[in-house]
Structure 1
């Protein structure tokens, strides 16, 4: 019988969440010899990972080995073997980005050729000269765009996107108000480094909620 091929089923955020859960087990293995404590941590990870998602039987078989990793080397092999199952961020070209920000004069574009789409939950880049950040996320078959200005220097705080305590900048965005000629401004603290922020995103719904909230 021909071996069943499992299609990619993990979002980038799912993969980051699995990385986070793997680290919980590895930290327990590194800090205690108490088998009961380690067993409890494995049980918690199983509950948060296996029982909190709706996996098919074949998908669960792919993820299940995480629960039994015994050291960091084994954990790294497991995570590497998961990468073919990641659904990458949808490819987007320069012309599409220009159309998303069509009112922006002399739009500075990111280096798309060097971007690993298996590493990002949302696309973001800065124009330091204008102190402006551009952000794009997938929305169905298309994309949703957001731009705002940020202030320096960075400070310590909680990022509104990844919810991590890190170096953040204040992002100011604005949308048209109900009264013609008026605008509603939104102020949020987000990671100063959007690449690091993407590494911390473990729940894509929080990113979607952020985009929806500040674009209304």
Structure 2
């Protein structure tokens, strides 16, 4: 199995990129040669640019993000509008290249694990193809329990046991009584460890922000021990 991690979300716009970039920054600060990948993107390539910035690597953007569609839609729909199909060979070629080049590879998915990539492929099939452990990023506010439990259940249908869940706030949370109890309830219902609850910080939303600050922010609020265990266990 590749030394790396696939990061998915329970929804779109919940902070997968912030969390992935933060983890990359932490690992890089500890002299772990960490690569990043965003196999498929739609709407823009900002996520791939952010990942490259915080991983502090000089990598061709086309290797990090080999497939891009103009419309901010599910790839199955965006590809139809752009009148071109996903180049799976190029995705797998870039993945193989990056996993050989770096000691640890962080792969950020598009949306959640059931997002359709084509007429017969979802993100979950990409995870299976890459054979990477799965980390789930979820919203921290009201409604996250349902989304997160469903995501875990769907992953398990395909034989994938998530290594952890990170709750993240990509905007200020005000007057939400569920905030303090969501972590424990999600862990109770899924049996998957909630590794942390990352609070909103405006500085972490900057696409070219302070690498050290984001890394410290993630490190302060997330238990990264399962990731270090992957580094030790994976060949």
What is the TM-score when the length of structure 1 is the normalising length?
A: 0.29
Structure ranking higher on relative contact order (CA contacts 8 Å, 6+ apart): 2
* Structure with greater strand share of residues: 1
What is the TM-score when the length of structure 2 is the normalising length?
A: 0.27
